[in-house]
Amino acid sequence: MLYFVSLYYKKSVYTGANKRFDELGKAYVRLLGDNFKIIVCEGEKPRWAPPDSCIFVPSYSNAVQRIHSHYQLTKILRSLKAGCVISDFMPIPFHGLKMHRHFQLIYDLRNFTQFRRGGLSILTSQFQRRQLSRSENIITISEYSRNDLVSKCAIPKSKILVSYCGISPEYISKPSNTTKTIDILYVASFEPRKNHIGLLKALAMSPNGLRVRFIGRDLGTQNQVRELASDLNRKKGFAIEIIESLSEVELRKSYDSSKLYVFPSALEGFGMPLIEAMARNCRIACSDLEVFRELCADRAKYFDPNSPAGMWCTIESELHDKTPVNNSDFVQTFLWQRIANDLLRHLTTNKKQ
């Protein structure tokens, strides 16, 4: 029996974490049938999930309610048939996991940096380190994140499984002659670590106006981005548009219509839009981060995210490069079905004794 747990999951919000939950969940419904259950907050039933596969925990909006949800999750886990539990929720419900094999899913160690998340006041890096060190097993989404867990939390590498994020087959594109109506595309939530401000400072060095599309929800910096974008639109003839979200079909069209995908983030545990952009044969310029080199290898050009001048130099060069791009073979590793199969194989061949 496999249980997927996420009290962070939001069915109507586009994030890498939500997409991973959806895509792996759909795969396991097909592969496991009644031997697969999901546990999410009330009101967050995924569209793809059969009603009898869902178990609900009270939703929460503050620290007190979160503790209550943690308590209810613990009760539910204690009542279920023994199986394998993959959960991303903290505090970890250890008392409910004693009869299960537990894999704690973690995307990055953002709480150890200046870009720490909000949430419970006790959810500091020290608290997170203690929680992770008590976990039976850990799943993370890149070799970079695994190495970070080893160095910052002193967790044995053997306890950490890497399971990439991915793409659906619909993303893998053959070279096309789609008209490029967008010069620069960036898909990311608006928050400090995503570095939209640094990108706009770099683009301001362009002698000509550029057509730029930002896609993402606001997590704190969108107003500042809008102000800077408005100035560039007015003073330098840019055409910068900001879109909260798009359907998967429209998102693929945005990749196809873009000359260059730019990812100037300062911190990532993975970088799913890079995989999507590669699959749609976009040219890519991105921050020189260890995880980005892990994912893209020589399929991207890299820049210092803290240097607008260096960023612009790379962007300008890539905008003028007309060499055809074809990443269809390269991105086969990142197909969701392959990722789901590999993860399930690990879970079933390494059962708890």
pTM of the model: 0.93
Q: For 150, phi and psi rounded to 5 degrees?
A: -65, -45
Question: pLDDT tens per residue, the chain (353 residues)?
Answer: 999 999 999 998 888 999 999 999 999 999 999 999 999 999 999 999 999 999 999 999 998 999 999 999 999 999 999 999 999 999 999 999 999 999 999 999 998 888 877 555 456 788 899 999 999 999 999 999 999 999 999 999 999 999 999 999 999 976 667 899 999 999 999 999 999 999 999 999 999 999 999 999 999 999 999 999 999 999 999 999 999 989 999 999 999 999 999 999 999 999 999 999 999 999 999 999 999 999 999 999 999 999 999 999 999 999 999 898 999 899 999 999 999 999 999 998 765 54
The predicted structure's pLDDT at residue 269: 96
Closest CA to 78 of 51, 102, 54, 105: 102
Token pair listed for 174: 């053959």
Alpha-carbon distance of 341 to 295, in angstroms, equals: 20
Provide the β-strand partners of residue 207: none
The predicted structure's pLDDT at residue 119: 53
**Cβ contact 296:325 at 8 Å:** no
What is the residue-wise DSSP string for 157-219?
Answer: GGGEEE----B-GGG----------EEEEEE--BSGGG-HHHHHHHHTT-SS--EEEEE--BS
The predicted structure's pLDDT at residue 178: 83
The predicted structure's pLDDT at residue 337: 96
The predicted structure's pLDDT at residue 11: 93
Order of strands across the sheet that contains 2-5: 54-57, 36-41, 2-5, 84-87, 101-105, 137-140, 160-162
**Cβ contact 325:282 at 8 Å:** yes
